[in-house]
Structure 1
Amino acid sequence: MRRMRWGLALVVSAPVVLATLWVTGTLNAEPGSPLALLVAGSGGLSLAALALGFLLLIAAARGANRLATVGTALVALGLLGVIVPAALATMLPGTDWVYRNGVLATSIPVLLVLATVGAILALIGFARGLARVELPARAAPAPTDSGTRARAGRIAFAGLAGLLAFGGYETLVLSPLALAPGYEIDEIYALLSPADRSSGIAMALVWLVFWGVAVVALLVLCLLRGRFARALNVLLTPRRVTVSALLLGAVIIFFQGWSGFSLGMSISDTIPPYAGGRSWQGQALSAVGALAFVAAVLIALVPGPRRMPVPAASVA
């Protein structure tokens, strides 16, 4: 069971890091530059973590039954067959032959079908196996009261509110300045048409308001007392508040990049040098979002220490 939790954590986390490298455009870094070396290192570690995760899942499946083992192996074969060549072809120079000869494109449907069939078999096999397995004891969580829940909520709110503030500043100020070097921020907005300016700002404000409401809702749940306090104390332990805040932060950052799409396109079409992209702070923020997601997955799935058995009191 512990190997399965570790395997799931690695298999879920690694593709997020790879996708972040692709979405942020860091894969297009100058070959040989420090950024390119960092991207290659991060991508290589992610691929290694993905492979290790599947090995742990296969090892866990062998302890369940043959159906789970075969299914997990098929999932690993299918997904690794798609992800590894695609990642290498985009991260390493000289490997674009994967795209040129069409090997990857023609094999993707077969590999995905293989992974889908394997996932169904693995789910059935694990369901049968886990029904006969006694789950290992875990360390009991620390008692949670309304005060502890409120403190965790305030800390989460402070971090998420700061994230919203910086994300809005990056979208409305830092990225426009990066897209139009040599211009002041007021000059950039003045050069845009009224329609482009208003629609770009509106998208950023919609992002800010929508996710601001979600952050406030989390804080309210953490601060509630009265007749809901007992249920919330069970539901919102500090660990779960942390996981929720990290996942919420990762989602906020993901949509923050899209909230500046309209404004960025308008600036790129209107002001020299007529190039796309975003600020380096925005790219760094995307990396923070990926790390937040990975941290949430690890906290949620990685097993805690086993609880030591308590010896029975001797009777005199």
Structure 2
Amino acid sequence: MRQVVVVGTGPAGLTAAIYLARANLNPLVIEGNEPGGQLTLTTEVENFPGFPDGVMGPELMENMRKQAEKFGAEFTRGWVSEVNLSGDVFKLQVDGMAELKTKSLIISTGASAKMLGIPGENDNIGRGVSTCATCDGFFFRGKKIIVVGGGDSAMEEANFLTKFASEVRIVHRRAELRASKIMQDRARSNPKITWSLDCTPVEVNSDGKRVTRLKVKNNETGLEETLETDGIFVAIGHRPNTAFLNGQIDTDDVGYIVVKPGTTETSIPGVFACGDVQDHKFRQAITAAGSGCMAALECERYLESIEVHEGVAY
């Protein structure tokens, strides 16, 4: 029986693990398919306090993990396929492991990249279609690349890919970008970046081995155009990873966990949510880390309210 289990290892989950471990609660942290979360797929992080020269995303996450381990957090790799949140003890089914039981649970499973859902996309993942510029950019030296999206992530990926590509074209279905002004300015001032705005992707073409073209429709004229490319990077947002909860916790229409205002408390006492899995507004590393701290402190207080061990309250 565990006092607390943390599901997910982004900035939120790792910060929660640090605080829980320092409180001698010996948290078990379950890493999913992307240990460290989205920041492990990011290059330089410039806006995390304490790093005036920036820090690489994977380095930041690795240091957080080491800090949690230093204080006694335990890590295990697995995929939580099912949970039972009824009763006073929560039960987790983790692939490759026996059933886990815990008195409290912190969910920090983040969100996963959305796909376009157009013909040829899934068939060419790993053959020119990607959702991770830092993972795959190196393979496109001197090539033409398309980035699909209009938010900060799309602008960041486009700028990063210009380090390798001969040309990066940003395709966005709207005439206006959603990205912050500073990110738009960076992209627009980059001579390697070209634009196809107000265009909707409709099909990915390939030669059977690699991506060769992206077919788009001009939303104003209705005409279709074929853009030659060697790679397509999809950066259109993310979907919260909450399917494994099977509706046992209140979520919004998209699937983000609903927490009580000003807290990380979910609709089930003893279950807390932090990071991008409950934040569709800010979605920043620092806000995720802050919510992880909140979740840990609230979890500790919850355990104090239900547990007395050897005459000492947790």
Greater fraction of residues in strand: 2
TM-score normalised by structure 2 residue count: 0.30
Computing the radius of gyration from Cα coordinates, the structure with the larger value is 1
**RCO higher in structure (CA 8 A, sep ≥6):** 1
Higher helix share: 1
TM-score between the two structures when normalised by the length of structure 1: 0.30
